[in-house]
Amino acid sequence: MKRTTLLSLQIAVGIALLILWHLLTTVKFGAKPILDPFFFSRPLDVLARVWKDFYAGTIWRHLGITLLETVLAFLTGAIGGIVFGFVFARGEIVAAVFDPYIKAANALPRVVLAPIFMLWFGLGIWSKVALGFTLVFFIVFFNVYQGVREVSPTILANARMLGMNERQLLRHVYWPAALTWMFSSLHTSVGFALVGAVVGEYLGSSAGLGYKIHEAESVFDVTGVFAGMVILAIFVIIIDTIVTAIENRLLVWRPQAQSTTAQG
Amino acid sequence: MGESVQAASPAIALRGVSVSFLLPKGGAYAAVASTDLVVAPGEFVAIVGPTGCGKSTLLNVAAGLIQPSTGSASIFGRPLAGLNAEAGFLFQQDALMPWKTALDNVAVALEPKGVPRRQALERARDWLDRVGLAAFADRYPHMLSGGQKKRVALAQILIRDPRILLMDEPFGPLDAQTRQIMGNLLLDLWAQDRKAVLFVTHDLEEAIALADRVVVMSAGPAAVIVGDTMIDLGRPRDIAEIRTEPRFHAIHKQIWATLRGEVQKAYAQGEGRRA
C-alpha cells in the first residue's frame, strides 16, 4: 500500500470514531443523547480542554515531572537490569540460587508495591521512580540475561581463537549481544517506565499527568480525564518516535532494523 | 621463516588421540578412536570422510577447543594446553561479529596482540584489499554475500599471521563457482608464506585440488584414518583447471576406492538408525 493511502486511511478511521463519539453524545433521542455527556464528555470539549491546558501553560509542569520520573525510572531500571543480567548470566551458581526469588518477584503485580514505595519514599517523584524501576528492571534483566546466554557459540569460539581474553570478550562479544536484546525491548521498557510513573502519580502525588487525571476524576470531570488521556497519548507517541530514532541509529548493523523503514 | 629450526618438530602432531562424548542419557559416544596425524610445517593437509565421521572433532582437538580423552596433541613440538595460540581457525558457520563492520571485524583480531587501534585499522584495510573487499570495508556482515563473509573471515584470521591454519569445511555453504574462486584465493594467499594447513571437507575433489596430502577418515563411531595419499600435482594450481588433468582423475579414482566404502557404511548406519 502506498504511504499516502495508508496515512489517509489511518486518519479516516480516527475521524470516523470521533464523529461517532460526537453524534452519540450530541444527537438527542427524546430528552437525552444515547451517551450521557456527563459520563462520556464530547470530543470538541476534550479538544478545547487540551488546548486550554497547553495555552494556559498549566500542563507543562506536570508533563515535565512525568517525563523526569519516566527517564529516571528507565535509566535506573536499565542500568540495574544490565548489571544483574550480566552477573547472573556469567555466574551459573548465582543464577541457580536466586532463580526462584527472581521468578517470584517478577510474578508479583508491581502495582501492589506502590503503597509501600509511597511509605518509603514519600509522595514526591522517588516513589514513582521506584515503581517504574521495578517494572523496567525485570524486562531489561531478562533480556540481557538471555542475550548473554545465547551468544552464538561459533562467534564466541572464533573470538577465543583470535586470542581474546575475558575482558575483550566482554567488550566485543557479550556486551554488544546483550545491548541488542536490551534495545529490542526498548519500546516495552520505556513504555513500562511511563506506566510506573503515571500509575504512581495516580495513586498518590501532587503533580504529574497521573495526578491531573486523578484530580479530574475525583470531581467527576470526565472531560478533564479524557483531556489528560489525550495529552498522555501525544506524550507517548513523541517518546516512542524518539526511541525508534535512537534504535535505528544504534542497531544499524541489524538487518530487520532497516527493512521496517524501507517499506513503502 | 626459520624452517630449518622447525623442521624437526611438526606443526601439528596428534598421537593416539581419541575423543568420546558423554551422552545425556548416560554412556559415551566414541567419535574418534586412537588416531595419529602429523602435519609438517608448510604442508597443506586435507581430511575427507563421510558426514559425522569425526573430521571436525579432530580439527577441534588441534585447535584446543576439545580436549582429547586419550592421547596428546603437540604444536611445533610443544604439548598443547588450552587453546592453540599458533592457529587461525576458519569456521563453517558465520563467525563474524554481526555488530561490527567488515573493517572492524578484521581490525579487532589484532587487539589481543596489543596493536594500537589506528595501526590495526590500517593493516585491516590492507588485508581487506588483499581478499578483494577494499570497497566493502564499511559494510556489516548481513550486507555481504556468503563468499564475501568468508573473505572477511579469512582476512580476520590471516591478519594475525598464525603459523597454522585450521579450516572446518569453510566453503561448505557456498555455491560451486564461489567455492572455486575462494579455493584459488586461499591457494594464492597460502603460497605467499606456506603456513601449515589442516583442511576438513567432505568434497574429495576440493581436497585433491587444494592439498599436498589427503587423509581419509572412516565412518563413525570410533573413526580412524584409513587412507593417506600424497597429491603429486604441480603448483601453482588453478582449482577449476586442475580437475581436467589425467593425473587428477587417477588420484581421485585411487582415493575414492577407499572413501566410497566408508561413505556407504555411514549411509547404511544412518538408514539403520532411522529404521
pLDDT at A261: 40
Task: Give a yes or no: residue A264 inside a domain.
Answer: no
Q: Is A164–B93 a contact, with Cβ atoms under 8 angstroms apart?
A: no
State how many domains chain A has.
2
- Select the residue of A161, A252, A254 nearest B63 (Cβ to Cβ): A161
Decide if pLDDT at A12 tops 80: yes
What the block records as the C-alpha cell of B166 is 585450521
Closest of B98, B95, B149 to residue A251, by C-alpha: B98
Mean pLDDT across A236-259: 78
Chain B nearest C-alpha distance from A161 (Å): 7
Return the higher-pLDDT residue of A226 and A90. A226
Q: Is B63–A155 a contact, with Cβ atoms under 8 angstroms apart?
A: no
Chain A nearest C-alpha distance from B158 (Å): 10
CA distance B201 to B50: 9
Question: Which residues in chain A touch residue B100, judged by CB atoms under 8 angstroms apart?
Answer: 172, 176, 253
- Name the residue range of residue A100's domain: 41-257
Which tens digits make up the pLDDT trace of A71-82? 999 999 999 998
**Which residue in B has a C-alpha nearest to residue A171's C-alpha?**
B108
pLDDT at A13: 96
Task: Give a yes or no: residue A201 inside a domain.
Answer: yes
* Number of alpha carbons in the 13 Å side-chain half-sphere of residue B3: 8
Give buried/exposed letters for A26-45 (b at 16+ CB in 10 A, else e): eeeeeeebeeeeeebbbbeb
Q: Is A252–B140 a contact, with Cβ atoms under 8 angstroms apart?
A: yes
pLDDT at B150: 93
Q: Is B111–A164 a contact, with Cβ atoms under 8 angstroms apart?
A: yes
Mean pLDDT across A35-60: 89
Task: Give a yes or no: residue A263 inside a domain.
Answer: no
Decide if pLDDT at A259 tops 50: no
pTM for this predicted structure: 0.79
Question: Which residues in chain B touch residue A173, judged by CB atoms under 8 angstroms apart?
Answer: 97
Residue A131, Cβ neighbours under 10 Å: how many? Answer: 30
Which tens digits make up the pLDDT trace of A199-243? 999 988 889 999 999 999 999 999 999 999 999 999 888 988 998
Residue A135 sits in a domain of what CATH number? Answer: 1.10.3720.10
pLDDT at A258: 43
pLDDT at B10: 92
Decide if pLDDT at A260 tops 60: no
Which tens digits make up the pLDDT trace of B137-190? 999 999 999 999 999 999 999 999 999 999 999 998 888 889 999 999 999 999
Judged by a CB distance cut-off of 8 A, whether residue A168 touches chain B is yes
Decide if pLDDT at A263 tops 60: no
**Which residue in B has a C-alpha nearest to residue A179's C-alpha?**
B99
Helix extents (H) in B14-168:
55-63, 102-107, 117-130, 146-158
Q: Is A155–B95 a contact, with Cβ atoms under 8 angstroms apart?
A: yes
- CATH architecture of the domain with range B3-76+194-274: 3-Layer(aba) Sandwich (3.40)
Task: Give a yes or no: residue A16 inside a domain.
Answer: yes
Mean pLDDT across A140-160: 91
Judged by a CB distance cut-off of 8 A, whether residue A16 touches chain B is no
| Cβ atoms of B195 and B164 closer than 8 Å | yes
Q: Are A8 and A55 part of one and the same domain?
A: no
Q: What are phi and psi of A185, to 5 degrees?
A: -105, 10
Report how many Cβ contacts below 8 Å link chain A to chain B. Answer: 67
Q: Are A131 and A235 part of one and the same domain?
A: yes
Judged by a CB distance cut-off of 8 A, whether residue A150 touches chain B is no
Q: Extract the residue ranges of chain B whose pLDDT is less than 50.
A: 1-6, 275
